Chains A and B, each alone.
Chain A
Amino acid sequence: NAGVTQTPKFQVLKTGQSMTLQCAQDMNHNSMYWYRQDPGMGLRLIYYSASEGTTDKGEVPNGYNVSRLNKREFSLRLESAAPSQTSVYFCASSEIGRTSGLYEQYFGPGTRLTVT
């Protein structure tokens, strides 16, 4: 199992450009998430999807859109990139753990995005 994969690993954009970050998981999880991580801020939720066909806003959704294409894939789109969106973006998926009985969340390797 590859777990959670993300593409690209690195990206540099100019202000106003658009791009889509791709995420896929092969663990058959229902829930998927997009976070951004900035120094000293921890992980902040952008959007999440509790199941295929549903998406909900998180703490910092402005400037982003998402698509839950199917159970495996959850993409994040920046329509008009701004320098404030320079960050590390993590995709994650979660399911109830067999032994813990609690939701367990697994992260992809991240995308380092710089907007100039």
Chain B
Amino acid sequence: QKEVEQNSGPLSVPEGAIASLNCTYSDRVSQSFFWYRQYSGKSPELIMSIYSNGDKEDGRFTAQLNKASQYVSLLIRDSQPSDSATYLCAVIWGNYGQNFVFGPGTRLSVLP
């Protein structure tokens, strides 16, 4: 059974701080990793994807991948109240075709 785990939160950070969201996955035969943001009552929206070990930066977002330790994280710099949402981690497994397996999500609250 492929599993993706996340701390459900809520994770509360003050405005302007760095928010750090973590995700672990159960199988080393994984291919690609994704972070989605989901506002309450809305659909998930892709914000970052990463394939190689190391860091990938896009604006205020940095995705970090460590395949040896089987975790992927998302850092949000200069957090804003508009970043308050649930963040979903997703993994495509190497032998699972194009199937995305999602974690349960972490709820982030950025306090003004």
Residue A107 at the chain B interface, CB threshold 8 Å: yes
Determine if A104 and B104 form an interchain contact, defined as CB atoms under 8 angstroms apart: no
Q: For A109, list chain B residues within 8 Å (CB).
A: 42-43
Nearest residue, chain B, Cβ from A40: B104
Closest Cβ of chain A: how far from B63's Cβ, in Å?
11
Closest Cβ of chain B: how far from A111's Cβ, in Å?
11
Contact of A31 among B44, B90, B98, B103 (CB under 8 A): B98
Residue A106 at the chain B interface, CB threshold 8 Å: yes
The count of A-to-B residue pairs whose CB atoms sit within 8 angstroms is 58
Determine if A90 and B43 form an interchain contact, defined as CB atoms under 8 angstroms apart: yes
Residue B27 at the chain A interface, CB threshold 8 Å: no
Determine if B45 and A107 form an interchain contact, defined as CB atoms under 8 angstroms apart: yes
Determine if B100 and A105 form an interchain contact, defined as CB atoms under 8 angstroms apart: yes
Determine if B100 and A45 form an interchain contact, defined as CB atoms under 8 angstroms apart: yes
Best-surrounded residue of A31, A33, A102, A109 (most CB of chain B within 10 A): A102
Q: For B102, list chain A residues within 8 Å (CB).
A: 35, 42-44
Nearest residue, chain B, Cβ from A107: B43
Residue B29 at the chain A interface, CB threshold 8 Å: no
Determine if B49 and A97 form an interchain contact, defined as CB atoms under 8 angstroms apart: yes
Shortest beta-carbon contacts, A-B, top 5: A107-B43, A42-B104, A43-B102, A42-B102, A102-B32
